[in-house]
Copies of this chain bind each other. A is one copy, B any other.
Amino acid sequence: MPFTSVKVIAFDADDTLWANEIFFREAEDKFCSLLEDYLPQHTVNRELLKTEINNMGLYGYGIKAFMLSMIETAIRITEHKVPDTVIEEIIKIGKEMLQKPVNLLPGVEETLKTLNGSYRLVMATKGDLLDQERKLKKSGLEKHFHHIEIMTEKKEPDYRKLISHLDVEPSEFLMVGNSIKSDILPVLKVGGFAIHIPYHVTWEHEKLDLEIEDEKFEQLENLSAILSWLK
């Protein structure tokens, strides 16, 4: 089978190794409740997403960006009538997110430990530098990784750079992640392998429905399934 040339396995972190999106969902719910006197919750949610996408280029990904977009949305949709206590509450929601525990997904620790002998393991994640380092530390997974790459984007040029930095050929590189858009498609495009492990919650902005037909692609149900797949 074609995956035999793989030497390096890169893992996405959020919602591949540990739960993450769920905390954003919880925060969004709290935010929408805070503003329900002004607008219906689903409208608030849509407005927030709009703000986030508008700010993406300037702020990038992560909790601080999310906090700033919540504040901006609150001011806009209340037409400058949002009480300071609500903004204070938004800051509190964000600070709580920054202190959440790191809950590993099932089988993660064991899978990394087993693969570590036979492959060079890398963590390749998007997001806020400090926050991703915090989660990595809390996760206790650092010891399994040869290299940690925290990226501002996960597009084709970013993967090309990473693969070249790791000093391997694209055909020796396998990416494992939960986002078709960020972890799978760009990697297949640059000639690497990709395994998709869907997560039950996906951020609207990362959603993408399509069938992938590629011998360098596989979809598995959970991380542990990689062990038997690569055997």
Contacts and interface: CB of A to CB of B under 8 A. Distances in A.
Interface stretch (A1-9, A85-93, A178-186, A221-229): A85-93
A71 B59 contact: no
- Category for how many chain A residues contact B: 20 to 34
Contacts of A67: 68
A99 to B, nearest CB: 7
Given A64-B64, A152-B130, A82 B84 contact: yes
A81 B72 CA distance: 18
A99 B58 CA distance: 8
- Looking at chain A's contact residues, is the secondary structure mostly helix, strand, loop, or mixed? helix
Given A67-B68, A68-B64, A129-B150, A75 B87 contact: yes
A26 to B, nearest CB: 18
Interface string A19-51: 000000000000000000000000000000000
A60 interface: yes
Contacts of A169: none
A90 to B, nearest CB: 9
20 contacts: A58-B95, A59-B98, A60-B128, A64-B64, A64-B68, A67-B68, A71-B71, A71-B87, A75-B87, A75-B88, A80-B83, A80-B84, A80-B85, A82-B84, A87-B87, A128-B128, A128-B129, A129-B129, A129-B150, A129-B152
Interface of A: 58-60, 64-65, 67-68, 71-72, 75, 78, 80-85, 87-88, 91, 94-95, 98-99, 128-130, 133, 150, 152
A87 B87 CA distance: 9
